[in-house]
Amino acid sequence: MPDSGIVVGQDFAVGSQDADSMSALLQPRAGLLMLNCHPDFKPPSGFRKEPALVKGCVLTDYYMDH
């Protein structure tokens, strides 16, 4: 997974190439999720994985920075 991504809220999206910023955006208190379109994505136990409006993608609070 690359060091950048799209984090979505209810009516907006943001992104960053900084791993620390991405991790901060995905903290539970922020209420944001990352759009993940990797077909075999399975988050570790304890992380969310929800359907996204984009076919083949999910929303998750899991971010791996490498």
pLDDT tens per residue across span 6-62:
777 778 788 778 888 888 888 877 778 888 999 999 999 999 999 998 899 999 999
Instruction: Give the pLDDT score at 4.
Output: 57
Sign of CA pseudo-dihedral 55, 57, 58, 61: negative
Instruction: Give the pLDDT score at 65.
Output: 60
How far, in Å, CA of 61 to CA of 5, rounded? 12
